[in-house]
């Protein structure tokens, strides 16, 4: 029997980490002697792998500079964490939604632009690490919207395209789902607007986490 798999993005879908990301981005740009990007620009790149995010923020810089900024961001984020300034709050209703999905027989996965270390820290902080049967990060895959993360998640979970759904808050999540040939559910509480998610091809946009179990079942019925 093919398993049903619900894959979640992390930042903007499971947890609200916008303030942390903006603070680390501001610090790493200052370290490099550059003016910090505004919050709206930073929201746009959440979900991309770090070099791709830097490329989007500074399209005129070269690849070496993009990679240097990406490493600087990692250092700045680690420093914020060491100083106890990182807060990655779980969105209201997410824990209960995961309970319901598991009770309905879904396997759970994550596909994120975070690193392995960063994802593990946030999931362990909320007591969720063992809930997910497959964890895919930017450490081992091309940036979203490449389908690699979803393809590997399906292979590890014993799921196929018809029994898998991708749940995320950005257009990159939606495009990644389409590239992998799976259903895409957008969420309205993250970093890209619902209208944009629908325009990119989301099958539906959830307004609250409590809607996800029913929407997942409809999408894979």
Cite the active site residues.
Answer: 9, 11
Tell me whether strands 3-8 and 106-111 are parallel, antiparallel or unpaired.
Answer: parallel
Q: Measured between alpha carbons, how far is 63 from 67 in angstroms, rounded to an integer?
A: 6
Torsions phi, psi for 143 (to 5 deg) = -65, 150
Residues paired with 174 in a beta bridge: none
Alpha helices in the chain (DSSP H): 18-31, 39-45, 50-57, 63-82, 94-103, 116-125, 148-157, 171-180, 194-199, 212-219
CB 132 within 8 A of CB 109: yes
Is there a contact between 6 and 106 (Cβ–Cβ < 8 Å)?
yes
Give me the residues paired with residue 131 across strands: none
SS3 37: coil
Beta bridge partners of 206: 187
Rg (CA), the chain: 17
């Amino acid at each position: 029997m093919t398993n049903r798999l619900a894959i979640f993005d992390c930042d903007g879908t499971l947890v609200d980490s916008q303030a942390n990301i903006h603070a680390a981005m501001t610090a790493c740009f200052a370290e490099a002697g550059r003016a910090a990007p505004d919050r709206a620009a930073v929201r746009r790149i959440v979900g991309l792998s770090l070099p791709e995010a830097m490329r989007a923020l500074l399209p005129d810089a070269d690849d070496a500079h993009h990679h240097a900024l990406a490493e600087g961001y990692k250092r700045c984020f680690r420093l914020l964490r060491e100083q106890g300034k990182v807060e990655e709050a779980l969105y209201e209703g997410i824990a209960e939604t995961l309970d319901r999905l598991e009770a309905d027989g879904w396997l759970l996965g994550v596909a994120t632009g975070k690193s392995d270390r960063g994802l593990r820290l946030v999931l362990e902080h909320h007591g969720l690490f063992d809930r997910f049967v497959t964890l895919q990060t930017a450490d081992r895959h091309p940036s979203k919207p490449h389908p690699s993360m979803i393809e590997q998640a399906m292979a590890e979970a014993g799921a196929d395209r018809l029994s898998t759904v991708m749940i995320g808050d950005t257009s990159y999540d939606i495009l990644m789902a389409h590239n992998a040939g799976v259903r895409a559910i957008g969420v309205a509480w993250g970093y890209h607007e619902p209208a944009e998610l629908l325009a990119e091809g989301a099958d539906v946009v959830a307004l609250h986490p409590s809607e996800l179990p029913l929407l997942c079942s409809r999408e894979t019925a």
